[in-house]
Amino acid sequence: MTNNTNSNFFRQEVDAAVDVLLLQQVILYPTDTVWGLGCDAEVPPAVEKIYKIKQRPAEKGCIVLVADEAMFAKYAAVVPPNLTELLAAQERPTTYIVQGSRHLAPNLLAPDGTIGLRVVQNDEFTRKVVRRLGHGLVSTSANLSGEPTAAIYSEVSPAIVRAVDYVVSWRQEDETRSQPSKVVRVLPDGGLEVVRG
């Protein structure tokens, strides 16, 4: 489908993506960084399907996109006390590794119980999908494990496209290349350790 800025097309794609997610299925979609695979972060079978599609070991975990600080707090066992200031100061999408909460699908958590959470701030499509879903949205790069990250839709493997339940048409023709998010670990004392700059 042709990518355009038509508001009806935008709304239709948001609606379609949310409908599939509510059926506990997997979407291929443009995130606030690169193209990703997504599902409801509270549904273990959907998370398992993503691991199978990527041929990725489950212990590697995934990132969860959230709509705001309240949703971040739902999924983080401990919220950084200065989260508001951190979000206001960040210059690019940033994922915070924190201890995960019981609300997440258990198979999303890393072996040490952590989860990467990212508040979507500058991507209207992804933010609207997360808000409409009402749950965290899994975000992992749309590539087979060990293969290069797909920054734009044309780089997504046909095997990935065939394996998902729905392919979002929004921004398929956008050639703007974004890099993966910055990743920082929140330390027990509230400090930050850069994992990926």
Q: How far apart are the first and last CA of the chain?
A: 35
Strands (E), the chain: 27-30, 35-38, 63-66, 94-99, 114-119, 137-141, 166-167, 182-186, 192-196
State yes or no: pLDDT of 163 exceeds 70.
Answer: yes
Question: What are residue 82's phi and psi, to 5 degrees?
Answer: -110, 30
**Mean of all residue pLDDT scores within the chain:** 93
pLDDT band with cut points at 50, 70 and 90 for residue 2? very low
Instruction: Provide φ and ψ at 29, rounded to 5°.
Output: -150, 160
Residue 124: is its pLDDT beyond 50? yes
Domains of the chain: 7-196 (3.90.870.10)
Q: 157 pLDDT exceeds 50?
A: yes
Q: What value does the mean pLDDT take over residues 94-112?
A: 94
Read off the pTM: 0.93
Task: Report residue 137's pLDDT band, with 50, 70 and 90 as the boundaries.
Answer: very high
**What pLDDT is recorded for position 107?**
94
pLDDT tens sequence across 9-45: 999 999 999 999 999 999 999 999 999 999 999 999 9
